[in-house]
Amino acid sequence: MNQPKMQREKQLSNPELREPVKVFCRLRPLCDESELPSLKLLSPTTLTIISDTKTKGVRRECNYMFSYVFTSYSGQREVFEHVALPLLEDLVNGKNGLLFTYGVTGSGKTHTLNGDAANPGIMPQCINTLFNSIGELQAQKYLIKSDRMNGFEVQSENEALEERFRETKSITKRVRLTKKGSGDKIMYNNDGTKLKNIRDDCLFSVFISYAEIYNNAVYDLLEDSNGKLQSKIIREDSQRNMYVNGVEEIEVKSAADAFELFAIGQKRKRMAHTLLNAESSRSHSIFNIRVVQLIQGQNLIKVGQLSLVDLAGSERCNRTNNTGMRLKEASSINNSLMTLRTCMEALRENQLSGTNRVAPYRDSRLTLLFKNYFEGEGQVRMIVCIKPSDQDSEENLQVLKFAEVTQDVQLTKAEPRYLQTFKTPTVKTGYIQTPKTTKAKTISSFSFGPKIPSVKLDLQDVEKNFAIIDKLAQVLRVRKQKCDLNNEDFDRRAQHLRKRLIDSNQENIMSRSEIRNLKAMLKRDKSQIQNLNVKIVDLETLNNDFLTKNNEQQEFIQNLQLTIDEKNLKLNQNCLEQEKNKQKFVLHAEKLNQEHDNKLRKQRHQLEMEMQARDLKLKKVKELIESDVNVDLTQSHREVTKLPETELKENIPQFTSESVIDRNVTSNRLNRGRGIGDIWLEHNAVKPIPLQTVLQPSMKRRKSVDRLKKASDVTNPKQSKYCLIAQESDGAGDVETKLYKGDILPTCTGGAQVIFNGVECLREESPTKMPLSPNNK
């Protein structure tokens, strides 16, 4: 039979070695001060809740007893001194303790345990008080090392020195966790409290671990992972204590290191927003503080553990309206809390009625992990957090009923745990001594009492025979009693062995179930990996195709870019050529203008000479004409040759055969002189009547057309003059011939334009014709 379990049964059978679970109550302040609370405080240990019954209009008051009731005005320090300080004193003496907060969501459980920087909760005050007490008695780092099976081993000084050297040379695990976890470091207020009765002949080492139970799976919040936490398995160590296999236990040497690890775990803890709580815990968090003592002069270490558990709040879905993942989380939380309540009820029923009801620890990871505490491996404390509002009265009633059940459970008093080290370290300080020999465990054998003596009867001495028979009967009675005791011991051992076999069978079944689940998960993961590999191959093929198409498109883009560059080059060349042509055209135009001006200057000079010669001839003609015509005719002729006012306004010159005495004769001769050497385009709009005048148009080089049929008639570069001939009859019936003259100039677009610069009028009149009087007009 297992020795620790026998000790537990003896302790449970002895009322003096048992103590009840201490349950405390803490009331949260109301959000609305005008709201009336549904709870009344009768005394520091008694609380009354007012509940509605099924009968309408009837309200019932129920009283509940606690170890102590903290009102809404109680501070964090008061809660720590009443609840956690005794557990902390047991911790440094090698005893175990469990403290968990229970209540509905938003009742102040997390605030009670954690608090804030100005008002630290139970956990920060425990850390500060612990390091205030053992600050000078701490062992060197890595002298004590976790064996990762819920035990510890002592290393030699050289091994510890190597561990510290590796820590300074490379990045330690805690630093990696700090970088990856990116927790917000918080420094809590330290009031300098110290514990009493700390042994001076011991060296202390503090180890921290932080885990959570989420959807009935255990996760290590301090695990050095790549962002995704792996679920852990709960196992039983050599002392039949439950622990989380593979959890990271990190040695800390100051309160700041512990707070840093706590901040990392808080960053990874599952939190969510609900209608009842802005930051609702979706998992049960477990913060473990383990203190290991090296006892001076012995090869023994003493281990104490304090577990601070922040239970997730129970909640009703009809109030939170949770759906999806939040609904699944709430269901898992409520199931684990229900399993905890069922285990407490089973323990209370066994103690009150003497039954042997099996507590369903394995139905939940929460109860399985703390199974040893409920069987006498340490003190258990519970803080029930209450929201004293009418809306939470039904949930508060269920919480108070659970508290009533819990404080009726009797647990054995905690005893220190001693573990013998399996290594033989050499420590210069002399705190550890290695025994030369180890004692082997002895198993007691069965004894059947005194040996049956040999009997010789004397037929002659009857009294002597009776004495011998009585002595024989006495020996046989003693042997029978011893046999009965052996049978009872055998039955008891058989029963305990049967229980151990049942427990082992259950553990085996759980292990097989876990193995099957792990195999199924492994198989599923393998199939997923295969599918992912197939998808990866397909994606790689598609990626190669896309790369090929991309390369083709890049080549096509490069070709297009080259084409565009070539066209841009050609456009730039064309622009340059156009600029050059334009400059050439401007220079040519300027040259032509200069040549034209020179030509005009020469023509003007030549015309002036010709005009002078003609003037001499005209003077002679005039003298001849004047000699033959009388004065009356001359006067009549001058009156007729006067120009009308309309033609003077339009500034269009007119000439007659006798207009040699007018100033227009000079202009007419000048215009005619300019036409020498030019090619004229003569445009006869109508067939003209032959002129009988002495003065005739002088166009030696000309081209006559009836109509302009095509553009080349005007754009011919050889033609530089234009003449439009038109004949009209005046009011007296005489015919007047008009010649509209102009210059043909080329345009920039390759065409030509005509600019009119003069009009010549030719007509013949009778010298005896009298001018019309104004009345006859």
Least confident of 166-175, 198-207, 669-678: 669-678
Q: Domain range for residue 147?
A: 3-20+74-387+406-420
User: Domain count of the chain?
Assistant: 3
The β-bridge partners of 305 are 290
Specify if 306 maps to a domain.
yes
- pLDDT(73) > 50: yes
**Residue 270, pLDDT score:** 80
Tokens of 447: 């004894």
**Residue 650, pLDDT score:** 40
Bigger pLDDT: 285 or 62? 285
**Residue 246, pLDDT score:** 86
Tokens of 452: 């049956």
424 is in an annotated binding site: no
pLDDT tens digit sequence for 623-663: 888 776 544 444 444 443 443 444 333 433 333 333 333 33
**Which whole number is the average pLDDT over 299-320?**
79
Residues 589 and 646 in one domain: no
Cα first-last separation, the chain:
162
69 is in an annotated binding site: no
Single out the residue of 631, 738, 744 nearest to residue 686, CA to CA: 738
pLDDT-derived band at 1, boundaries 50, 70, 90 = very low
**Which whole number is the average pLDDT over 539-557?**
92
Domain end marker among 601, 628, 655: 628
Tokens of 106: 């938003």
545: helix, strand or coil:
helix
State the CATH number of the domain containing residue 148: 3.40.850.10
94 is in an annotated binding site: no
pLDDT tens digit sequence for 91-126: 998 899 999 999 888 888 999 999 988 899 999 999
The strand pair at 735-746 and 721-729 is best described as: antiparallel
Query: Is residue 150 within 8 Å of residue 237, measured between CB atoms?
Result: yes
**Residue 429, pLDDT score:** 33
DSSP state of 361: G
**Which whole number is the average pLDDT over 663-690?**
60
**Which whole number is the average pLDDT over 590-602?**
88
499: helix, strand or coil:
helix
**Residue 377, pLDDT score:** 77
104 is in an annotated binding site: yes
**Residue 7, pLDDT score:** 54
Residues 611 and 652 in one domain: no
Residues 646 and 623 in one domain: no
**Residue 120, pLDDT score:** 93
Bigger pLDDT: 605 or 631? 605
Most confident of 208-212, 522-526, 652-656, 663-667: 208-212
pLDDT-derived band at 733, boundaries 50, 70, 90 = low
Spatial CB neighbours of 447, under 8 Å, sequence gap ≥ 6: 482, 486
Specify if 392 maps to a domain.
no
| Mean per-residue pLDDT of the chain | 78
**Above pLDDT 90, what percent of the chain?**
21
**Residue 566, pLDDT score:** 92
Rounded-to-integer distance, Cα 767 and Cα 634, Å? 8
- pLDDT(426) > 60: no
Query: Is residue 198 within 8 Å of residue 134, measured between CB atoms?
Result: yes
pLDDT-derived band at 382, boundaries 50, 70, 90 = very high
pLDDT-derived band at 84, boundaries 50, 70, 90 = very high
CA distances 118 to 27, 73, 186, 221, 256, Å, are 20, 16, 10, 25, 15
State the CATH number of the domain containing residue 694: 2.60.40.4330
The position carrying tokens 């020996």 is 475
110 is in an annotated binding site: yes
Bigger pLDDT: 551 or 448? 551
Residues 164 and 15 in one domain: yes
pLDDT tens digit sequence for 117-156: 889 999 999 999 999 999 888 988 888 888 888 888 888 8
pLDDT-derived band at 568, boundaries 50, 70, 90 = very high
DSSP state of 83: I
Specify if 541 maps to a domain.
yes
**Residue 448, pLDDT score:** 61
**Above pLDDT 70, what percent of the chain?**
76
Residues 578 and 668 in one domain: no
**Which whole number is the average pLDDT over 522-526?**
89
Query: Is residue 112 within 8 Å of residue 124, measured between CB atoms?
Result: no
Domain end marker among 587, 608, 628: 628
Query: Is residue 8 within 8 Å of residue 412, measured between CB atoms?
Result: yes
Spatial CB neighbours of 332, under 8 Å, sequence gap ≥ 6: 214, 215, 216
Least confident of 78-82, 236-240, 273-277, 315-319: 273-277
**Residue 333, pLDDT score:** 84
Rounded-to-integer distance, Cα 209 and Cα 28, Å? 29
**Residue 770, pLDDT score:** 58
**Which whole number is the average pLDDT over 554-558?**
93
pLDDT-derived band at 286, boundaries 50, 70, 90 = very high
Single out the residue of 315, 317, 288 nearest to residue 303, CA to CA: 288
Residues 611 and 480 in one domain: yes
Residues 359 and 379 in one domain: yes
Q: Does pTM surpass 0.85?
A: no
Query: Is residue 206 within 8 Å of residue 293, measured between CB atoms?
Result: no
Single out the residue of 746, 737, 613 nearest to residue 673, CA to CA: 613
Least confident of 56-65, 468-477, 645-654, 761-770: 645-654
Specify if 585 maps to a domain.
yes
**Which whole number is the average pLDDT over 9-17?**
55
**Residue 430, pLDDT score:** 32
Residues 294 and 221 in one domain: yes
673 is in an annotated binding site: no
Rounded-to-integer distance, Cα 357 and Cα 344, Å? 11
Bigger pLDDT: 12 or 699? 699
Specify if 97 maps to a domain.
yes
**Which whole number is the average pLDDT over 48-60?**
64
**Residue 450, pLDDT score:** 67
**Residue 417, pLDDT score:** 61
Tokens of 221: 């919040």
Residues 642 and 550 in one domain: no
Query: Is residue 449 within 8 Å of residue 479, measured between CB atoms?
Result: yes
Rounded-to-integer distance, Cα 124 and Cα 191, Å? 11
pLDDT tens digit sequence for 347-379: 888 888 878 888 899 889 999 999 988 887 788
Count H helices and E strands in the chain, helices first: 18, 27
Residues 618 and 653 in one domain: no
- pLDDT(441) > 80: no
The position carrying tokens 């001495």 is 461
- pLDDT(338) > 80: yes
Buried b (16+ CB within 10 A) or exposed e, 328-362: ebbebbbebbebbbbbbbbbbbbbeeeeeeebebb
Specify if 427 maps to a domain.
no
Specify if 229 maps to a domain.
yes
751 is in an annotated binding site: no
Rounded-to-integer distance, Cα 338 and Cα 399, Å? 11
649: helix, strand or coil:
helix
- pLDDT(609) > 60: yes
109 is in an annotated binding site: yes
CA distances 711 to 717, 725, 741, Å, are 12, 19, 19
Residues 670 and 743 in one domain: yes
Query: Is residue 214 within 8 Å of residue 270, measured between CB atoms?
Result: yes
CA distances 733 to 638, 648, 728, 730, 768, Å, are 20, 22, 9, 6, 16
At 769, the amino acid letter reads K
**Residue 669, pLDDT score:** 42
Residues 229 and 281 in one domain: yes
Domain end marker among 607, 628, 649: 628
Rg (alpha carbons) of the chain, rounded to whole number: 63
Extended strands (E) in 280-434: 280-281, 284-295, 300-310, 379-386, 410-412, 417-420
Specify if 665 maps to a domain.
yes
**Residue 251, pLDDT score:** 93
**Residue 172, pLDDT score:** 45
